[in-house]
Chain A
Amino acid sequence: MILEILSYLLRFIAIMLLQLLVINNIELSSYINPYIYISFILLLPITIKPWQLVLISFLCGGVMDAFSSTPGLHIAATNFMGFIRIHYLKATTTKEDMEGRIVPSLSQKGVVWFVFYCFVMTFIHHLILFFLEIYGFQEFFSTITRVLLSSVVTVLLIVIGQLLFYRSKIKNG
């Protein structure tokens, strides 16, 4: 149990460093700002307690806010996404998934399910984040383009990450 927590903590630090040091410095366009740190929350085990998930997403957003000097934007977006995840997984997973303590990942749930799951979650997260960032609807269409493009790139990066790090498991399964 302690080992599991420790490994998740390490993963959290690694993913935050990746986001802050690498992804944030890739300047593709002002319409593409991927936030891959949310994949930490997306890839928590299905059996995690709902209150733990809500708290973890809150902390995740808090750390991100602190390092990008934004006031509460990431907390609002990530917290909301964490809450939606609880209900999304309740609706789309089976009893066997719950008993098998599986992780909602590419290798265990299949490509189509995973990509759709990622896209829905990322879209919700980016929607809240970008609209709170501009704080209003005065640039509605450019903001929605920003949300869509960034979501697509984020999902793409998460899927690539999955293929890189969990390849062996796919072969076995």
Chain B
Amino acid sequence: MRNLIFFISKYYVFFLFFTLEVFAFVIVYRFNNYQKASFVNYTTGVTSSFYTTVNNTNQYFNLRRVNDSLQMENARLHSQLITSYYQNNFSPKQINDTMYKQQYEYIPATVVNNSVTKRNNYITLNRGKDHGVEAEMGVISETGIVGIVMSVSDHYCTVLSLLNNNCKISAKIKKNGAFGSLRWEGDDPKYAKLLDVNKHVPIATNDEIITSNFSTIFPEGIPIGRIFSHSLDAGDNFHTIKVELYTDFGTVSSVYIIRNLMKGEQTNLESTLIETKK
């Protein structure tokens, strides 16, 4: 026993180091294997308010650009207003519409912290539990998709940016509906790769890539980007497709969080399916 104590006291620095190192690796392991970002939950509250202060200052420098993009969006929305459509309906009866039920809600949010050059990038937004944000909601900008909400505190949420190793998005080619999954390869924030598109599918450059209807996170048809270049290696069953992303992650500032009102219903149904299979 005395020898043991002597041994520990002689190498106490190593033991201290070892314990802390193991602690760190456990966090990394948990994060990567369970996809539960519990660690980040504790920290977003404090650190995000720090970034909000910084961002409030930075926003002044971006006002002109933000104005421009909002003006563009306004113009687009104006053109979709009911008043800008020609009334082509002469039906005298008012029909109470039961055919459409709202499935998606959009929560506007502002980017508080963002990065594009890391291998794994995260975005912090100024909306949280109080505004109805939950984990695994989609995030889009005016131009295209941005990422998926990872963890939520009372007033903030962290978003797994599309520019992240752990972010895979189910996408399809608009023209022919061929499915694939979109993944960022870690080099240029302007481009991503579309994987698993079978080689018999005809594709061409400039084909538009949109979100597929497979996920409960994004509605179908949100624009992602366009095919920048594509090739087919000999003996390979899948196309190698380089996608130019519509969203400029370097300057993205106002975004929308998508809340799927029917998500619970769908996942519940699908989980019972898995149980009966067992």
Contact with A along B57-94 (1 / 0, CB 8 A): 00000000000000000000000000000000000000
Taking a contact as CB atoms under 8 Å apart, the answer to whether A75 and B20 are in contact is yes
**Nearest-neighbor residue (CB-CB) of A66 within chain B:** B43
Residues in A neighbouring B39, C-beta threshold 8 A: 65, 71-72
Given A30-B188, A76-B24, A134 and B119 contact (CB-CB distance below 8 Å): yes
Q: Does B120 contact A (CB under 8 A)?
A: yes
Q: Does B250 contact A (CB under 8 A)?
A: yes
User: Is there a chain B Cβ closer than 8 Å to A50's Cβ?
Assistant: yes
> Is B175 among interface residues, defined by CB-CB distance under 8 A?
no
B17-40 CB contacts (< 8 Å) to partner A: 17, 20-21, 23-28, 30-32, 37, 39-40
Can you list, as one digit per residue, whether each of A69-88 has a CB less than 8 Å from chain B (1) or not (0)? 11111011001101100100
A32 sits at the interface (CB 8 A):
yes
Within 8 A of A (CB), among B164-205: 165, 185-189
Please, how many residues of chain B have a CB less than 8 angstroms from a CB on the other chain? 42
A-B CB pair tally, cutoff 8 Å:
108
Whether the Cβ atoms of B12 and A139 lie closer than 8 Å is: no
A30 contact set on B, CB distance < 8 A: 116-119, 186-189
Contact (Cβ within 8 A) B119 A75:
no
Q: Is the CB of B119 within 8 A of A76?
A: no
Asked if B261 is an interface residue, CB under 8 A from chain A, the answer is no
Would you call A165 an interface residue if the criterion is a C-beta within 8 Å of the partner chain's C-beta atoms? no
Quote the shortest CB–CB distance from A145 to chain B (angstroms).
Answer: 10
Query: Are A54 and B37 neighbours in the complex by a CB distance under 8 Å?
Result: no
Cβ contacts under 8 Å, A139 to chain B:
185-186
* Interface assignment of A58: CB less than 8 Å from any CB of chain B: yes
B26 partner residues in chain A, CB cutoff 8 A? 72
Q: How large is the interface on A (under 10, 10 to 19, 20 to 34, 35 or more residues)?
A: 35 or more
Interface residue A104 (Cβ < 8 Å from any Cβ of B): no
Docked Cα-Cα span, A32 to B46, in Å, equals 28
Are A54 and B165 within 8 A (Cβ)?
A: no
Of A4-12, A20-28, A154-162, the segment with at least 4 beta carbons within 8 Å of chain B is: A20-28
Complex Cα distance A54/B119, Å?
27
Contact B115 A24 (CB under 8 A): yes
User: B27 to A75, Cβ gap below 8 A?
Assistant: yes
Question: Which of A32, A73, A79, A134 is in CB contact (< 8 Å) with B21?
Answer: A79
Pair B250/A27 contact, Cβ less than 8 Å: yes
CB neighbours (8 Å) of B262 from chain A are: none
Please, how many angstroms separate the alpha-carbon atoms of A158 and B168 in the complex? 37
For the complex, is A137 an interface residue (Cβ under 8 Å from B)? Answer: no
Contacts of B232 in A (CB 8 A): none
Nearest Cβ on chain B to A76's Cβ, whole angstroms: 4
Contacts A29-B117, A30-B189, A69-B122 given; indicate if A133 touches B165 (C-beta within 8 A). Answer: yes
- A78 nearest in chain B by CB position: B24
Q: Is B44 an interface residue (CB 8 A)?
A: yes
Measured CB to CB, the residues of A under 8 A from B are 21, 24, 27-33, 50-51, 54-55, 58, 61, 65-73, 75-76, 79-80, 82-83, 86, 130, 132-135, 139, 142-143, 146
Interface residues of B (CB under 8 A from A): 12-14, 16-17, 20-21, 23-28, 30-32, 37, 39-40, 43-44, 46-47, 50-51, 54, 115-120, 122, 124, 158, 165, 185-189, 250
12 more contacts with CB within 8 A, not counting A54-B13, A79-B20, A135-B165, are A21-B54, A30-B117, A32-B117, A54-B17, A66-B43, A66-B46, A68-B122, A71-B40, A72-B28, A73-B24, A139-B186, A142-B187
